Amino acid sequence: MTEKERKKKLKESNDILLKATKELNKMFKRTDNIIGSAEEKIKAGRRITTSYPSLDKILGGGLPLGCIVELYGPEGSGKGVLSMKIVAEAQKEGLISLWVDAENQLNKAWMTVNGIVPEDEDTLKIMSCDSGETAETILETVLKLINTGALSVVVVDSVAALIPEAELTRNIGDRKVGALATTMADGLRKIMQAVKRAECTCIFINQTREKIGVMYGNPETTPGGKSLGFFSSIRMRINALTKADKQIKKDGDLIGRMSKVKTTKNRFEQPNQEALVEIYFKEYAPNALDILAESAMGLKLITKRMGVFKFRELKNDSLSTLMESVEFNGLMGEFGAAVQEALTNNIEYELNGHGQKCLDSILDGTFKLEDYREM
């Protein structure tokens, strides 16, 4: 077939498709074309920051709006904190969020610690599930609210707490195999279409379980069946890091810890990437210089003995005061170079977003101590 004949046949085929498209548009009462080009149908959606630069980076620039996200991990790993951080960022941008409190454990104090403004009724809506609502009722309610187009972020906390109607009407101990999995599969098929139209991201917080009798392979599984994993555009597993060098301390007091987030699935960016995030136990404005200093301790550049911190010949019983001494003695450039060299030699160690930003300012000569003093 010659090039001229190929182009002629291609044009005839496209004319046939165009005619069929017009008929389908009329049949389904579509105001836009039911089929079209990639440029017409695939558009870059909005994104919202997670408040963690390192996590935003592996997500491809933040969390995209208009998709389903599963956030899962063991207890106390920071699933709720990360979700609250996202809601807090949505509030800052004037977007409306809905928090579905299926576990009935939400409280204003913890929300405030994580940046949410509970008093802002215009941007935050809470759905309590304390009247025996079934999983079917909750998912249908979420679907209807998403279809309004008014919501930008929905958090369902959590999948494991959803009670299917078949289970609610039975006695404790009676089993209905696959009841929640069936409900989730039915609901997610509808929600998947709705979130795309409404440009709303629906975050499902999920717990982890272990399969019984698994001798080989990963025994970990999640409640609600496998459908959520398939319908999710992004799956993130969060895991708390318990080593001493991953704990965040302020003058010897434990105020938080690091958690590792891994994108086990990502349709928008390379999957299986990891990022470190800070989980704080109380309201605290993180001092990036202190965080960098804590990282330097993990890299053995700053030592601590008998309650005294030491860098080179400088010593102090307060890590913050030690870093001030480093600056006043003109050693900040040397400190930054030492941290950079240690990171290069230890590729498994990664700075979090705040620490990396502080290190960059030291290396490029723009560091100013007053920028990192206590608020």
pLDDT tens profile 315-374: 988 877 888 899 889 999 999 999 988 888 876 566 766 777 788 888 888 888 877 655
Do 304 and 256 belong together in one domain?
no
Do 76 and 219 belong together in one domain?
yes
Burial of 221 (0-12, 13-18, 19+ CB in 10 A): middle
Do 149 and 171 belong together in one domain?
yes
Percent of the chain at pLDDT exceeding 90: 50
Is position 361 within any domain?
yes
Do 259 and 368 belong together in one domain?
no
Question: Residue 141: which pLDDT band, with cuts at 50, 70 and 90?
Answer: very high
The packing angle between helices 288-298 and 353-363, to 10°, is 90
Do 221 and 332 belong together in one domain?
no
Q: Look-up: residue for tokens 């307060």? A: 318
- Check if the beta carbon of residue 204 is closer than 8 Å to that of residue 159: yes
Do 295 and 271 belong together in one domain?
no
Is position 97 within any domain?
yes
The whole domain housing 309 covers 288-372
Q: What is the pLDDT of residues 69-107, one digit of tens each?
A: 999 999 999 999 999 999 999 999 999 999 999 999 999
Do 304 and 252 belong together in one domain?
no
Per-residue DSSP letter, 160: G
The encoded tokens of residue 274 equal 């990891």
Do 275 and 305 belong together in one domain?
no
Is position 113 within any domain?
yes
Question: Residue 215: which pLDDT band, with cuts at 50, 70 and 90?
Answer: confident
Label the pairing between strands 97-101 and 153-157. Answer: parallel
Distance (Å, rounded) from C-alpha 255 to C-alpha 290? Answer: 12
pLDDT at 218: 86
Do 227 and 346 belong together in one domain?
no
CATH of the domain at 219: 3.40.50.300
Do 73 and 220 belong together in one domain?
yes
Is position 130 within any domain?
yes
- Check if the beta carbon of residue 72 is closer than 8 Å to that of residue 207: yes
- Final residue belonging to a domain, choices 280, 304, 337: 280
pLDDT at 347: 61
Q: What is the pLDDT of residues 283-325, one digit of tens each?
A: 765 677 877 887 788 788 998 887 788 998 899 888 778 888 9
Do 249 and 302 belong together in one domain?
no
Q: What is the tally of structural domains in the chain?
A: 2
Q: Look-up: residue for tokens 């200093």? A: 293
- Final residue belonging to a domain, choices 280, 303, 337: 280
Q: Look-up: residue for tokens 């074309």? A: 33
**Model confidence, pTM:** 0.79
Between the ranges 97-101, 250-254, 278-282, 337-341, where is the mean pLDDT highest? 97-101
Distance (Å, rounded) from C-alpha 178 to C-alpha 185? Answer: 10
Is position 15 within any domain?
no
Distance (Å, rounded) from C-alpha 78 to C-alpha 91? Answer: 20
Looking at the DSSP assignment, which residues form a beta bridge with residue 61? none
If we measure between CA atoms, which residue out of 205, 92, 112 comes closest to residue 152? Answer: 92
If we measure between CA atoms, which residue out of 262, 331, 343, 251 comes closest to residue 298? Answer: 343
Distance (Å, rounded) from C-alpha 84 to C-alpha 88? Answer: 6
Is position 346 within any domain?
yes
- Final residue belonging to a domain, choices 244, 264, 280: 280
| Dihedral, 7, 10, 14, 20 alpha carbons, nearest 10 | 150
If we measure between CA atoms, which residue out of 153, 90, 96, 89 comes closest to residue 121? Answer: 96
pLDDT at 375: 38
Is position 205 within any domain?
yes
Is position 12 within any domain?
no
Do 269 and 367 belong together in one domain?
no
